[in-house]
Chains A and B, each alone.
Chain A
Amino acid sequence: MTAATPHARRLADMAQVIRSKNAGPTQLTIDVFLNDAAMYALAAHSPALSGAAVASRYGLAEQQVQRHLLANIHAIKFVLPRRIVAGSPGDGDVYGAQQHGPMLDIVV
């Protein structure tokens, strides 16, 4: 498979790890580890995994999301503000460990 003729694929089928976790109580980090360099190249260049696209999946504005591309380990990292500071009344996920759901069915 080459980047020039990509097949539409679910991110969950292209990545060995898709995880979310707090980076401190105010931020959430979503790490995606693609299966290999080819998958990484597809994902890194896909508009479906732009900062803006991921922001909209989480109901955030584009400038609220930072994206880090880590080609050497085939990883893409997104950093988002938490909706509620971790553990404040009304929070539903103190560790932020179950916020990866909206990433799973992104089609690349």
Chain B
Amino acid sequence: MNATARLLQSHRPGDGVLRVLSASGQLGYGIPEDAFRRGMARAPHVIGCDMGSVDPGPYYLGAGVMAAPEPMVERDLELVLCAAREAGVPLLIGSAGTAGAAAHLDATLAIVRRIVARRGLQLRLATIRSDIPADAVVAALQAGRLDPIGAIEQPDAAQIEACSPIVGQCGTETFARALALDPDVLIAGRACDTAIFATLPAMLGYPLGLSLHMAKIVECTSLCCRPGGRDAMLAELTLEHFTLESMNPDAHATPASVAAHALYEQADPLQVEEPGGSLMLHDAWYQALDSHRTRVGGARFVPRDKPSLKVEGALWQGERVVLLAGVADPTLLRVLPQVIAAVEQRVRALVPGSWQLFPHIYGQGAVHPLAPAQRATHEAGLVLEFIAAQTALARTAAAVFKQNLLHHAYPGRIATGGNLAFAFTPSEIDAHSAYRFALYHVMRDAPLERLFQVDAIDLDGRTRH
């Protein structure tokens, strides 16, 4: 018997609290060790870590690489794996390797195997593969079961097929299938953050609404505290409520800070969509237990008839080269957008082929549109983004643009030495592939069991694999 079955057989809701430890909301950026050790000293029944998000943009999904640096991922994984094995409790990790597609999951598993071998660990490892075949999404599109979330255009079948890969956010249903394989450690591809922390409580018999609400708050560790942070967070769950406590003694979970966290990154503060239904927070209550801990209850879960699945897909747009430079001439700064347009026209005649230019003029509205009076006339930063199907073409466009902009004779110029200040050369830099999200949609009536593959394998670091 392994950690999951031991917990399922030994814990009876109502007999005592269930302690859920959230070790990381972003595994791979350095789990604060002091708070994590304090959490382990509280003898948690289950440990969870979130490892991914759609936040960092489409590149990581499209290119199949992790956002977090691999040495730090390995450091964090080693910390939680060893602690969980020593305590003999289940460890659950969701959205492996940032974007949770096969490449990310496999890269994460390779690190796990290295740690298992190095530390001589023995464990049963379950995995969930979250890659969704393009034909399933195309079929949903054609059947009218693919709904955009927010402001994103509907892709056509060819664009869906060109997304490589597509992932779906699995939920508690899929985690329960993987946990039925009795793992010590579960590593999931793309997953709802809530599934990591809510599934085992729900399998034990705790109310799903309460479990999901707890999960929704603890998945960001101590971000729900004041001051917010990245320290491990403990939730003590009963059948009626849960108590939140940061493992950093100086980060306090107050009713206001916890309730405020429900708004974070969330379009609807009172309703959270899960594959199997909606988490309703209309009757949620938050009560201070003392100055450090807050007790929460009142959430409800309303199941839907047929499961819905959030799908994400990134579409390659080309290879990117960026040109970095500063401008400090007041006359030029007053006409900079027009000068860039004029230079672009000249460079297009010199560099044929299909390339795109996206100018970012920092100081003049690159982050948010600025009124003319607010646009800087003393100094501005230029990030000119060139995208083309081949890196060589993007490099050529960037280099030719640089030289033409450097010596462009704009009206009223008195600074004839050159129009750009370079912090270093070469000032044009290869900047990875460019992607865009073509899919951020809900697939209604999704066959979850068919779409998500669950597996388990026994790893023994005391023998050579």
Contacts and interface: CB of A to CB of B under 8 A. Distances in A.
Contact of A29 (B266, B387, B436, B437): B266
A86 B360 CA distance: 15
Interface string A57-91: 00100000010101011010101011001111110
A23 interface: yes
B15 interface: no
Nearest to A70: B269
A101 B151 CA distance: 21
A81 B440 CA distance: 14
Contact of A87 (B57, B269, B356, B367): B57
Contacts of B424: none
A19 to B, nearest CB: 9
Contact of B436 (A17, A88, A95): A88
B290 interface: no
Contact of A81 (B151, B264, B358): B151
A24 interface: yes
B317 A89 contact: yes
B286 to A, nearest CB: 9
B111 interface: no
A81 B263 contact: no
A25 B260 CA distance: 21
A47 interface: no
B269 A95 contact: no
A13 interface: no
Nearest to B312: A25
B150 A27 contact: yes
B265 A85 contact: no
A89 B436 contact: yes
Contacts of B109: none
A87 B435 contact: yes
A25 B60 CA distance: 14
Contacts of A31: 260, 263-264
B259 A24 contact: no
Given A22-B55, A24-B149, A85-B151, A92 B266 contact: no
B307 interface: no
Contacts of B437: 25-26, 85-88
A24 B57 contact: no
Contact of A101 (B264, B368, B434): B368
Nearest to A82: B151
A27 B151 contact: yes
* Interface size, A (range): 35 or more
A38 interface: no
A66 B320 CA distance: 35
A95 B260 contact: no
A50 to B, nearest CB: 18
Contact of A23 (B266, B367, B435): B266
B149 A26 contact: yes
B58 interface: yes
Nearest to B153: A85
Contacts of A33: 260
Contact of B256 (A23, A27, A73, A89): A73
B367 A89 contact: no
A84 B162 CA distance: 20
Given A73-B260, A79-B267, A89 B356 contact: yes
A26 B150 contact: yes
A92 B256 contact: no
Contacts of B55: 22, 86, 94-95
A22 B265 contact: yes
B151 A26 contact: yes
Interface in B402-454: 434-437, 440
B8 interface: no
Given A86-B57, A89-B358, A92-B366, A24 B260 contact: no
Interface in B16-60: 54-59
Nearest to A79: B267
Given A25-B440, A33-B260, A92-B367, A87 B266 contact: no
Nearest to A59: B369
Q: Which 5 residue pairs are nearest across A and B when measured between Cβ atoms?
A: A87-B57, A26-B150, A81-B151, A88-B436, A23-B267
Given A86-B437, A88-B436, 12 more contacts: A22-B55, A25-B57, A25-B58, A33-B260, A70-B263, A75-B263, A86-B55, A87-B59, A89-B436, A94-B55, A94-B57, A99-B367
22 contacts: A22-B55, A22-B265, A24-B267, A24-B440, A26-B151, A31-B263, A68-B269, A73-B260, A77-B263, A77-B269, A81-B150, A81-B151, A85-B151, A85-B440, A87-B59, A87-B437, A88-B436, A89-B385, A89-B434, A92-B366, A99-B368, A101-B367
Interface of A: 17, 21-27, 29, 31, 33, 59, 66, 68, 70, 72-73, 75, 77, 79, 81-82, 85-90, 92-95, 98-99, 101-102
